[in-house]
Amino acid sequence: MAPGDDDDALAAEWDAALEDSEGGDGDADELAAEWEAMMEGGDGDGGGDGEAPAREATRVLNQDEIDSLLGFDEEGDDAGERAGIQAILSSALVSYERLPMLEVVFDRLVRLMSTSLRNFTSDNVEVSLDNIASIRFGDYLNSIPLPAMLSVFKAEEWDNYGLITVDSSLIYSIVDVLLGGRRGTAAMRIEGRPYTTIERSLVERMVHVMLGDLSAAFEPLSPVTFRFDRLETNPRFATISRPSNAAIVARLRIDMEDRGGRLELLLPYATLEPVRELLLQMFMGEKFGRDTIWETHLAEELWVTDVDLEAVIDTQIMKLRDVFDLKVGSQIMLSATQDSPVQLVCGDVPMYTGRMGRKGSRIAVKIGDRIEKAPRNN
């Protein structure tokens, strides 16, 4: 039955009740009491026991509960932590591999940059490492706040690229410091205009200083030369990897008294692949899969191990049918004489050559020369 039919039926019922009320007030009172009881049950205040569990099972979540379940809580976003379904989805985006030695390299980079930037700007510079994170390269390009300068550099020995992002606050601060701006005044930021040649040149000089420090930071681990390639202002032109590839991002904070800004260093996992084994070390010089105690014990046991050394007087090449025709009493003629050299082999490896003779009642072999192993052709 359609909803309109229900309304018509209810109106007809009310008309009939009004007609009955003209003849008898008792029926109208009973009908009104029944209708009131039904309305109270519909409101949920005076319903029967059978309706209460149904109403509890269909309880509607409020907005805060929905946000907490999905992981869109604002407090959690400020802390940099994700929860709920969003945490599950985000964990599948990037498989972050912890590289302990890379953290040591970045810590060394911070110390080197603090000294070199002080010499570069002739000002009191403090460099701090905010965090190290793993992110998809495409997501990182989309998250860069513009305007900014993106410096592409190449790791010569690793034959791959990296990226340095300098935000606008740091750009104007560097320009202000190097061109003699007054202290105590914030750097002026002009929106809506491209960076000038002077600004690009000064930022490029700072990037050269940082790349020198980055090479020095990797020096104890693996010598590498980072070469400046180009400077871009559009993230689309600074693509050095596929958008789905994972990369390591180190976020640095540079403070120059009342001025400063942020600088981000991005290294794709493909760039770090040649030194991945070194970066997985827990400490400098750790040897993977090697145990000095076990190696010494194995070497000592090998020296006292018994091996079979066979003396080969002669070898014959025979047809298979001749081998099957051999019987008890058959003779195989050898081409060796009593002066022929005897070859001593260990397994399939020839070791020595010697002369056969007799010592007492036993046949003996006197070792003459050692057979050198032929070099393997690559």
pTM metric for this prediction:
0.54
pLDDT band at 25 (very low <50, low <70, confident <90, very high): low
* pLDDT higher than 70, residue 240: yes
Residue 348: φ, ψ to 5°: -105, 10
Q: Terminal CA-to-CA distance of the chain, rounded, Å?
A: 88
**From residue 344, how far is each of 131, 279, 334 by CA, in Å?**
65, 48, 17
Residue type for position 250: A
Question: What mean pLDDT is predicted for residues 108-124?
Answer: 90
**What percent of the chain lies above the pLDDT cut of 70?**
70
Determine if residue 159 is left, alpha or beta; phi over 0 gives left, psi from -120 to 50 gives alpha, anything else beta.
left
**pLDDT band per the 50, 70, 90 thresholds, residue 116:** very high
pLDDT at 289 over 70: no
Q: What is the pLDDT of residues 172-224, one digit of tens each?
A: 888 888 887 766 555 555 566 788 888 899 999 999 999 999 999 998 888 89
Residues 328-362: pLDDT tens digits?
Answer: 988 888 887 777 888 888 888 888 888 888 888 88
CB 135 within 8 A of CB 247: yes
Phi and psi at residue 23, in whole multiples of 5°?
-90, -25
Domains of the chain are 100-187+194-279 (3.40.1550.10), 306-370 (2.30.330.10)
